[in-house]
Chains A and B, each alone.
Chain A
């Protein structure tokens, strides 16, 4: 009886994840129009693509699952490597399969959270850093010439950091057994959404 109840409680979040992932959403990823006018535009930009938002939250969630020091090393790694990717994009250095890389990042990072996978810290940091290049490159390529690149960059980096913080804040649930299930369910949602992004990138 108890086993059936615990199985039901494990299935529920994943069922909810499946339901959420199958809801229709507008295609909003990664084509930003308008001038880069400054701090507020930069602050707004990372929130404009759901694939980026979900991957950032997954980084925070995974860091929270892995605990100290990953909880801060992963969010520190991401913006710095992402900035390198953005710099590549700004300089016009091409990177093949950017959209595929971004979609795959949502799948893999979501799967890591869903499976509560615990690799060595270096492996986790390299995985997060690898995908950060794709996210940074996409944003660097699409940043239009603006009035103040520095203010735009500050807004952009702070917004990305805040997305990680959202993931880490959700990760506080990890203290409780039910919270762990919710986190794993959230990871499953992110992975499923990643599959959708991948499908959209391929078709």
Chain B
């Protein structure tokens, strides 16, 4: 019980903001845009929520498209003020939960998808905020938010448009891979 509590404390402890943005040489907005594509910890949860929203239909896809980016912006602004990183276990938890939802193709109501999109945006944006304050600033955050909008829109729309049953199965298999990676990340974190 004690060791479990210790492990929970370890993974739930807020991380110090020590990471830095990749420099594209094209300014802070592009640095932010590049950050999303070069950071699997952020990119994969965005892909996963887009896949899940796409599986749940056009209404859920639209909600995720319009809710995740502003939530990310909000989380980023809060994080840049507080200057505390998200807990180290955030990516692992996002991978596990979102991957599991995609793999199970859970028949969740649209409100659930909306809530999840807001939570993912707030938590991951919060993690970005502290990093961006010392680098690309709010413009970098805008770059990330813009790219998250593009990714969610394209991926969710692609999944919604799938008509062949095995393509939806392929999406669910991808979800199981994301969840499996999340489990392994917990193992690495607790090692």
Q: Chain A's nearest CB lies how many Å from the CB of B181?
A: 5
A167 at the interface (CB under 8 A from B): no
Q: Are A90 and B180 in contact (CB under 8 A)?
A: no
Q: How far is the CA of A90 from the CA of B91 in the complex (A)?
A: 18
Q: Are B40 and A86 in contact (CB under 8 A)?
A: no
Closest B residue to A87 using CB positions: B187
Q: Which residues of A contact B183 (CB under 8 A)?
A: 80, 83-84, 86-87
> Which of B175-191 touch A at CB < 8 Å?
176-177, 179-191
Q: Which residues of B contact A156 (CB under 8 A)?
A: 184
> Which of A159-193 touch B at CB < 8 Å?
161
Q: Are B188 and A79 in contact (CB under 8 A)?
A: no
B172 at the interface (CB under 8 A from A): yes
Q: Are A79 and B191 in contact (CB under 8 A)?
A: no
Q: Please tell me the number of chain B residues within 8 Å of chain A, measured between CB atoms.
A: 22
Q: Which residues of A contact B181 (CB under 8 A)?
A: 83, 150, 153-154, 157
B173 at the interface (CB under 8 A from A): yes
Q: Are B177 and A86 in contact (CB under 8 A)?
A: no
Q: Which of A83, A86, A158 has the most CB of B within 10 A?
A: A83
Q: Chain B's nearest CB lies how many Å from the CB of A44?
A: 16
Majority SS of interface residues in chain B? helix
Q: Which of B169, B176, B191 contacts A80 (CB 8 A)?
A: B176
Q: Are A145 and B184 in contact (CB under 8 A)?
A: no
Q: Please tell me the number of chain A residues within 8 Å of chain B, measured between CB atoms.
A: 25
Q: Which of A82, A140, A154 has the most CB of B within 10 A?
A: A154
Q: Chain B's nearest CB lies how many Å from the CB of A99?
A: 20
Q: How far is the CA of A72 from the CA of B176 in the complex (A)?
A: 11
Q: Are A90 and B190 in contact (CB under 8 A)?
A: yes
Q: Are B191 and A91 in contact (CB under 8 A)?
A: yes
Q: Which of B172, B182, B190 contacts A76 (CB 8 A)?
A: B172
> Which of B150-191 touch A at CB < 8 Å?
169, 172-173, 176-177, 179-191
Q: Are B187 and A76 in contact (CB under 8 A)?
A: no
Contact with B along A82-108 (1 / 0, CB 8 A): 111011111100000000000000000
Contact with A along B33-54 (1 / 0, CB 8 A): 0000000110000000000000
> Which of A116-148 touch B at CB < 8 Å?
140, 145
A21 at the interface (CB under 8 A from B): no
Closest A residue to B99 using CB positions: A80
B131 at the interface (CB under 8 A from A): no
Please name 11 pairs of A and B residues whose Cβ atoms are closer than 8 Å in the assembled complex, sorted by A: A80-B183, A83-B183, A86-B183, A86-B184, A90-B190, A149-B188, A150-B40, A150-B185, A157-B177, A157-B184, A161-B177
* 10 closest A-B pairs by CB: A149-B188, A90-B187, A87-B187, A153-B184, A83-B183, A83-B180, A79-B180, A76-B176, A72-B169, A153-B181
